[in-house]
A and B are shown apart, each in its own frame.
Chain A
């Protein structure tokens, strides 16, 4: 069945460091891929998405490219800020019935 494997955390970075959170997926057909962010005490917010191979999603300095050949959708940001501290979830949707989420990666950015 469909599934998402996400880099385990927690991740701690200094401000202005480069961020990569790895995400790979297993799915039949052509799923859409998403990154969601969850700030403490809040719900999940869509960070970015990509709906087909080679699409690049981007938002707030974060980027991820849909790579069908490697079944990956890694999240990157060139320079993280303290305000980026949150839990990040990779997800896929394929059939209209449910979203499959990775286990979440907790990011802490220290000044």
Chain B
């Protein structure tokens, strides 16, 4: 069983479209995250949720909206996609603090 699963793995779309990335974890963790990895492999936190409540909301354009229907799911919806949104997006989860996070396989988003 995959611990943290994201869909889709690849997403190619045109500028201006709206798309969603889904994330589910079956580890029973309370905290979930979205990270963006750019072409230089740099990882930047976007959002952090704890028990469905938004904890961290970094300086991300408001075209990005996370939604957590329950503590096992954290989806990312992106409106009006731009070329600069092309990146790999990782979902992750962890339990409590100062323990490891488990990462999904990533979603490679390409905006053309």
Question: Footprint of B on A, CB under 8 Å?
Answer: 30-32, 34, 36, 38, 42-46, 49, 51, 87, 89, 93-99, 101, 103-104, 106
- With A42-B106, A43-B106 as known contacts, state yes or no: A101 contacts B43, CB within 8 Å: yes
Query: A87 — nearest CB in chain B belongs to which residue?
Result: B41
Note all chain B residues with C-beta closer than 8 A to A106. Answer: 41
Interface footprint category on B: 20 to 34
Nearest chain B CB to A71's CB is how many angstroms away? 16
Q: Residue B27 at the A interface, CB < 8 A?
A: no
Note all chain B residues with C-beta closer than 8 A to A95. Answer: 97
In whole angstroms, how far apart are the Cα atoms of A99 and B58 in the complex? 13
Do residues A31 and B98 form an inter-chain contact, with CB atoms below 8 A? yes
Note all chain A residues with C-beta closer than 8 A to B25. Answer: none
Chain B residues numbered 77-112 whose CB sits less than 8 Å from any CB in chain A: 90, 92, 94, 96-106
Residue of A43, A49, A106 most packed against chain B (CB within 10 A):
A43
Do residues B43 and A93 form an inter-chain contact, with CB atoms below 8 A? no
Q: How many A-B residue pairs have CB under 8 A?
A: 65
Do residues A98 and B41 form an inter-chain contact, with CB atoms below 8 A? no
Closest 10 CB pairs of A and B: A96-B97, A32-B98, A43-B103, A104-B41, A44-B103, A101-B43, A98-B45, A43-B105, A46-B100, A43-B106
- With A43-B90, A44-B90, A103-B41 as known contacts, state yes or no: A96 contacts B105, CB within 8 Å: no
Note all chain A residues with C-beta closer than 8 A to B90. Answer: 43-44
In whole angstroms, how far apart are the Cα atoms of A44 and B93 in the complex? 12
Q: Which of A36, A42, A45, A94 contacts B98 (CB 8 A)?
A: A94
Residue of B40, B43, B48, B102 most packed against chain A (CB within 10 A):
B43
- With A89-B43, A106-B41 as known contacts, state yes or no: A99 contacts B101, CB within 8 Å: yes
Do residues A99 and B41 form an inter-chain contact, with CB atoms below 8 A? no
Q: Which of A31, A46, A49, A96 contacts B31 (CB 8 A)?
A: A96
Q: Residue B20 at the A interface, CB < 8 A?
A: no
Note all chain A residues with C-beta closer than 8 A to B96. Answer: 96
